[in-house]
Amino acid sequence: MKLPWYYVIAVIILFLAAVAVFDLFQDGPGEGDVLYQVSTIDALMQSVYDGIIPNEELKKHGDIGIGTFNGLDGEMVAVDGNYYQIKSDGVAYPVKDDMMIPFATVTFFEIDKTILVEDAGNFTEFTGKMDAVLPSSNLFYAFRIDGQFPYIKARSVPKQEKPYPLLVDAVANQSVFEFHNVTGTIVGFYTPQYGKGINVPGYHLHFITDDRKAGGHILDFSIDEADVKLDITPEFYMELPTDGDFIGVDLTKDLHKELEKVEK
Ligand SMILES: CC(=O)[C@](C)(O)C(=O)O
């Protein structure tokens, strides 16, 4: 018995609809929640600044993220699939596809949870409020916070020349930018304490203004009221250098004291 073509079409549509509805009621993270990382923070701390993949490759793995560029030339902010390089002049430049990346963390952002944060007077208070409501301190998360912020203190670092200095020495020449009552987007990641050495344990946040013209690596900030959009990223993929300074760098050291000087 040959079914009329419209019967077949109807069955296919019904099947696809059933799959879509089933997916909507699935708990937990969305599909493809992969955190994609280039190199490690402890390698960066020890001057591994030569890029290993071009930004054209990196952006295939995420539409939101943070990082830096070849020679430690500025701060990366990726949001809505647009990648920006905030240089030490404080200006956000579009990232060219051939720019090489030594360190970055990106993902395709899917909101799994929205957390209202109120009256966080500084980064430490923000951390305390978030730590109290995170689903678990054992998971990796991506964050996005759009809004107006009473205060943001951010930095960028100038391009370094070889022989490269340690990150803790490079940031001694950082440019610091202070924003007051500024509207924009904070993007970043939470790394569990067991991930130290791989990325910044706790919160690593970058900022870009609403007009996408300025920003940097967040050293301090405050929130009156904002929705923190959170993406649970249970899968982790890391791209490591197979040559250059990474091969011989000592990654057994405990650098948490140096990291505290660099990150905040
Ligand atoms: C260079 C910089 O500020 C980074 C990559 O965001 C960091 O070191 O955390």
44's enclosing H/E stretch is helix 41-45
Q: Is the pLDDT of residue 31 over 60?
A: no
Distance 10 CA to ligand 1 centre (A): 53
Each residue of 27-48: b (16+ CB within 10 Å) or e? eebeeebbbbbbbbbbbbbbbb
* pLDDT range class, residue 112, cuts 50, 70, 90: very high
In this structure, the strands spanning 34-38 and 235-239 are parallel
Burial 178-203 (b: 16+ CB within 10 A, else e): ebeebebbbbbbbbbeebbbbbbbbb
Q: Is the pLDDT of residue 27 over 80?
A: no
131-154: buried (b, 16+ CB within 10 Å) or exposed (e) per residue? eeebeeeeebbbbbbebebeebbb
Ligand 1 atom closest to Cα of residue 170: 1
What is the CA(259)–ligand 1 centre distance, in A?
Answer: 10
Could you tell me the distance, in angstroms and rounded to a whole number, from the CA of residue 12 to the centre of ligand 1? 49
pLDDT of residue 6: 86
Model ipTM over 0.95: no
- Taking only the tens place, the pLDDT of each residue in 116-143 is 999 999 999 999 999 999 999 999 999 9
The model carries a pTM of 0.88
Looking at 9-18, 105-114, 183-192, 201-210, which range is the least confident one? 9-18
Written as six digits, the tokens of 11 are 């069955």
Question: What does the alpha-carbon distance between residue 166 and residue 175 come to, in Å, rounded to a whole number?
Answer: 17
Any idea which fold 34-263 has? 60s Ribosomal Protein L30; Chain: A; (3.30.1330)
CA 56 to CA 141: how far, in whole Å?
24
Q: What is the CA radius of gyration of the chain?
A: 20
φ, ψ for residue 149 (rounded to 5)?
Answer: -120, 130
In this model, does residue 20 exceed pLDDT 70? no
- Residue 221 near residue 177, CB atoms below 8 Å: no
Give distance in angstroms: CA of 206 to centre of ligand 1. Answer: 9
Band (23; pLDDT cuts 50, 70, 90): low
d(C-alpha 161, C-alpha 247), whole Å: 20
* Lining residues, ligand 1, CB within 6 Å: 44, 66-68, 72, 75, 103, 157, 167, 200, 204, 217, 262-263
The tokens describing 41, both together, are 């923070």
Rounded distance from Cα 117 to ligand 1 centre (Å): 25
pLDDT number for residue 128: 97
CB atoms within 10 A of CB 162: 10
**Closest Cα to atom 9 of ligand 1:** 263
Residue indicated by tokens 């990106």? 106
Structure tokens at 44: 């960066």
Nearest-atom index, ligand 1, CA of 41: 8
Q: Which residues contact 145 (CB under 8 A, 6 or more apart)?
A: 117, 185, 186, 187, 223, 226, 227, 228, 229
The greatest distance separating any two alpha carbons of the chain, rounded to the nearest whole angstrom, comes to 79
What pLDDT, on a 0 to 100 scale, did the predictor assign at position 25? 53
Q: Which two tokens stand for residue 252?
A: 């057994």
Q: What is the pLDDT of residues 206-219, one digit of tens each?
A: 999 999 999 999 99
Alpha-carbon distance 116 to 28, whole Å?
19
What does the pLDDT look like over 58-83, one tens digit per residue? 999 999 999 999 999 999 999 999 99
Atom number, ligand 1, closest to the C-alpha of residue 68 = 5
- Residue given tokens 């002049």 in the structure block: 89
**pLDDT score at 258:** 92
Residue to mutate (ligand 1; options 42, 66, 68; most atoms within 8 A of CB): 68
**Greater pLDDT, 20 or 118:** 118
CB atoms within 10 A of CB 125: 14
Q: Which atom of ligand 1 is nearest the CA belonging to 200?
A: 9
Whole-number Å distance, alpha carbon 67 to ligand 1 midpoint, is: 6
Expressed in angstroms and rounded, the spacing between residue 75 Cα and the centre of ligand 1 is: 7
Per residue in 140-197, pLDDT tens? 999 999 999 999 999 999 999 999 999 999 999 999 999 999 999 999 999 999 999 9
Q: Is the pLDDT of residue 32 over 90?
A: no
Give me the pLDDT at residue 2, please: 81
- What tokens were used for 135? 């689903």
Listed by start position, the domains of the chain span 34-263
What whole-number distance in Å separates Cα of residue 228 and Cα of residue 116?
6
